[in-house]
Amino acid sequence: MTLSEALNGMSTMTELELSELNRAVCSELKSRRSADSARKRFLFKAGDKVSWSGRNGYTEGVIVRVKRKKAICDVGYGRNWDVPLNMLTAA
């Protein structure tokens, strides 16, 4: 089934079927993000220079500590930001 077929088929689904579809999609997204975080947790170490694009645009920093799904990054000015691992790229 393609994406367009699935989107068109939603109009004929019951509320229960839509709710089940929503749970399945959210579960799949959560597992993919969790797997991505696990890969990146072993890729980055404290002291690595990283970059990311967030609310404040493009930002660079140095990893202070890697947690389970986030890294604490020193962005200068005595400020540390808690950045999700899936947003980080090596700078």
Q: Indicate the pairing of strand 89-90 with strand 70-76.
A: unpaired
Output the six-digit token pair for 9.
């088929």
Each residue of 32-79: pLDDT tens digit? 988 888 888 899 999 999 999 988 899 999 999 999 889 999 998 888
How far is 73 from 1, CA to CA, in rounded Å?
A: 42
In terms of DSSP H, where are the helices of the chain? 3-9, 15-43
The pLDDT of residue 38 is: 87
Band of the pLDDT at 29, cuts 50, 70, 90?
A: very high
How far is 81 from 13, CA to CA, in rounded Å?
A: 43
pTM above 0.75, yes or no: no
The pLDDT of residue 80 is: 93
Q: Are 49 and 60 in contact (CB under 8 A)?
A: yes
The pLDDT of residue 4 is: 86
The pLDDT of residue 54 is: 86
The pLDDT of residue 60 is: 94
Output the six-digit token pair for 46.
């404290």
Residue 90: helix, strand or coil by DSSP? strand
Residue 86: helix, strand or coil by DSSP? helix
Four-way CATH pick for 3-90: 3.40.50.10320, 3.30.565.10, 1.20.1260.10, 2.30.30.140: 2.30.30.140
Band of the pLDDT at 10, cuts 50, 70, 90?
A: confident
